[in-house]
Every structure is written in structure tokens, then in C-alpha cells.
Amino acid sequence: MKVASFITIVFTTSLLFLSLRSPIAAFAEDRYSELQSFTKILNLAQQFYVEPVDTKKLIYGAVKGMLRELDPHTNYMPVEIFKEFESETTGEFGGLGIEISIQNNILTIISPIEDAPAWVAGIKAGDKIISINGQSTKGLSLVEASQLMRGKRGSSVVLGIIRGTSDSPQNYTIKRGQVKLKSVKYTNLEDGYAYVRITSFIENTSRDLEKILDDHVKKNKDIKGLLIDLRRNPGGLFQQAIKISDLFLDEGTIVSTIGRNKKDQEIVVAKKDGGYPTLPLVVLINEFSASASEILAGALQDNRRAIVVGEKSFGKGSVQSVIKLGDGSGLKLTVARYYTPNGRSIQAEGITPDVEIKNIDIQALNKAIITSENIREKDMEGHLIGENEKPASPLTASDKNGKETRSPSASSSWWNKSSKKTEDSLSPKDKLLQSDYQVYQAFNYLKTWKIFSKK
């Protein structure tokens, strides 16, 4: 009886063990079967393909195909490309100087880096690349497209570009060169105000910004407000966005990341050593402000530290982890999503500005003014107000979401100012304000920051 009982216990325990391990065993069996099929196909290609095959090339091709099933930001980088990727974050590298993405299955430029070869050649944010040296970009991954655009310094590459609503491609020949990034550009707006344009987030961005602000204070003995321009900033190093946010915050959440396991939430909180925790801030964004730019804008907006103006941002809110592999190659793998302090997902949503300011192309405006045949008395600046006419307000009351927007008539005073002087006679401040409508209006909001901060 004791032996029988022992056998029964062992048998029951074995069944329990098998039932507990069966899901794992089934998963492993499925994966083994799939890998066995892959190995079989590889062996058949090696043995019977019409010509000798490069096994390494086939395996890397399989890896690329596998990752293509995920998202555009997950990529395998061969050794040489990974080396270049590492050098790009230091602020100096060779190439064209563009940030690219895949939108609607089309290779699209998020932003050309200012003063880089592509910028000088006339490449613009939003341009669609349909060919590289005559080769179609259809079906290419970001890494494959990058490989085609890379080359020896001094050599040229021809990009087939479609811009805007045009159906006709235009070829741009760009000479590859050394790209030296100056990620923070400063203009003194006088009367205690400052403007900084952050073009990307690289290793020294936060340090450079802090130095610029400290120097501004020393020279001007005060700083009344700061306009931060993040337009066409494609992002960069996550930690740099954190450090800059921390510069203006002394408490509160900066950003949180959540991966596959919703319980594994990482929250980044501001320290109490920010150098400018009360400085009035206006942040200017547009549809090409992405990734780290959106983290900074979202952190300052949700913590009520800045008025965010401009146009809705790009919406790149995913976290990539870069893994260096044993052979020197690398894997960039999407592992989480970013969330603003109020829990808003940035991914495919972007940051909505507090005040929408549409951009105005001064050349197009000049053309419209010259060719217009519909100018009336009421369109003339300083005209006598009619009895039934309400004085034009630079702001409409609000849109359906309670968000303030600029009315079209608000551009008239800017255009009249910008058309009076030649560019050579302008100060850096006036040159900036009279050539860029969005900056001009953002600066107006900065000067009335106290009124908006109460809202």
C-alpha cells in the first residue's frame, strides 16, 4: 500500500509539473520549429542556389527583414554604420547632415542640420526622398537609406526630391562634408530678453545652453525672459533633454517611460538645483520638432513653466535602447513609450501648443501683396474705422478647445515692419524678428508672459 501510494503521489506530481511547464514547452517547441524552417531554407539556398551565396549576407538580410516587421526606429547597424552612429552624438561627423524618417512608406526628411551640406544645398524639412543616386528608395529601411547616402568626404550624392504637393521630382547634388554641430544658437533680443535656437541634442547641449544664459546675465545684469526655438529639431540624446528641463524646474516630473510591462514605469523627477526655476519661458515648436524636443516642450508645458507656441509637433514618442553586439555592430531597439508629466503619450500624438501660430513665408506674402487685386479701404493700415466695424484684435477669442490662435490680420504690422529696412542695416535682433513671423509673435507672448502664466 505504501509503495502504491508513493507511485500515485509521484505520478500526480509529474502531471502537475507537466501542466505547469506545458505553456513554456509549447512556446519553445513552436520557436524551435520556426528556427528549424529558417535553417532548412538557409541550407537549401547554400546548396542549390544557381550561384554561390554569401552566407553572412543572407543572415544579415534575414535580420533586417525581421526587424522591418517592427517599427521604423528599430534597426540593425553593421559595424561601420554603428561607428558612425556613435560619432554623431559627439557633435562632429562626416555626411550630409539630415535626420530622416519613414512616413507613409516614403523616406522623408525630418530636418536638415543647419549649416550642414544638405542645408546649404537647399534641402528642407518635409522633403520626400524618392531616389538616391538614381536608385529608388521604395522599400528601403532607414539604415539602408543611410548607407546609400554615406560616402567619402568630398564625394557627391544625388537625391531625387519631391517637395510639397508637387509631383515632379527635382535632383539635388550634395557634396559630402564634415558636419560640425553647434546645437545652441543665441541672439540677444535686448531689454533683458534672449533667444536660443536648439538645433539638436548632443553631448554638450545643456552645458552650452547654461553657459549662454550665464553669459547673458553677466553682460546684461538681468534676464527677463527666454524664447527657446525647437523648430526643426529632430531630437538626439534623451539625457540632454532631461538636463535642460531640470535647468528650469525645481520640482515635478519631467518625463516617464513605460515598456511592455506596464508595471515597470520609470519616472524622471526634477532636482532642486535648477539654475533658472522662475525664468519666464516661451517654447516654439513645429511639425518637425521630434523626440527629445517633445520631451522638453511637454515637461515645461505640463509643469506650467512655459507657454508653448507654434504648430503641433512631430509625435515621435518611443524609446530606443542601443545595444552594441559582440562583433562591433549594433541594434537599436524600441523598448518603451514616453509620457509627459500629465500622462500624455507623445507617440503619434505630438505636443499641441498652447497658442497656435502658423508660419508665414515672407516671399509668398510679398508676392500675394503685389499681385492682389482685392485690396480695400479696410485692408489699409491705420484706416478710419467704420461705424459698424469692430477694431481688429491680434488674437481671436479662442478655438473650440480653448486654445488661442493668431488671426490672419495679425501679420500685417509684422509685414510692414519687415519690409521697411534692408537686411544689411538690421541688428541681429531685428534681422531675426523681421524675417521670421513665428519668432516675432512668440517674442510678443514672452513679453506678456506674466498675463499668460496666471491663466
Each residue of 415-452: pLDDT tens digit? 565 555 566 678 999 999 999 999 999 999 999 987 76
Judged against a pLDDT cut of 70, whether residue 5 lies above it is answered with no
Query: Helix or strand or coil: residue 95?
Result: strand
What is the per-residue burial (b if ≥16 Cβ within 10 Å, else e) of 343-355? ebebbeebbebbb
What are the extents of the domains in the chain? 75-180
The pLDDT, as a whole number, for residue 371 is: 43
d(CA 348, CA 354): 18
Place of cell 561601420: 80
- Amino acid at position 204, single letter: N
pLDDT digits (tens, 9 = 90+) for 337-372: 999 999 999 998 999 999 999 988 666 555 544 444
53: cell is 551565396
Q: Do 306 and 250 contact (CB within 8 A), yes or no?
A: no
- What's the pLDDT tens digit per position in 42-54? 999 999 999 999 9
| Alpha-carbon distances of 64 from 7, 53, 55, 77, rounded to whole Å | 53, 17, 14, 9
Q: In the predicted model, is pLDDT for residue 19 greater than 60?
A: no
Query: Taking Cα atoms as reference points, which of 85, 216, 79, 65 lies closest to residue 141?
Result: 65
Predicted pLDDT of residue 369: 46
pLDDT at 373 over 90: no
Overall fold of domain 75-180: Pdz3 Domain (2.30.42)
pLDDT-based confidence at 184, cuts 50/70/90? very high
pLDDT digits (tens, 9 = 90+) for 98-122: 888 888 889 999 888 878 899 999 9
Of 81, 88, 330, nearest in space to 203 by CA: 88
* pLDDT, position 10: 39
Q: What is the mean pLDDT of the chain?
A: 82
Please check the confidence at residue 80 and state whether its pLDDT lies above 70. yes
Residues 85 and 329: their CA atoms lie apart, in Å, by 11
Which stretch of 54-68, 400-414, 437-451 has the lowest confidence by average pLDDT? 400-414
CA distances from 279 to 210, 253, 276, 307, 417 (A): 13, 18, 5, 12, 29
More confident site: 163 or 424: 163
Three-state SS sequence of 279-311: CCEEEEECCCCCCHHHHHHHHHHHCCCCEEEEC
Residues composing the chain: 455
Question: Which positions are annotated as active-site residues?
Answer: 291, 302, 316
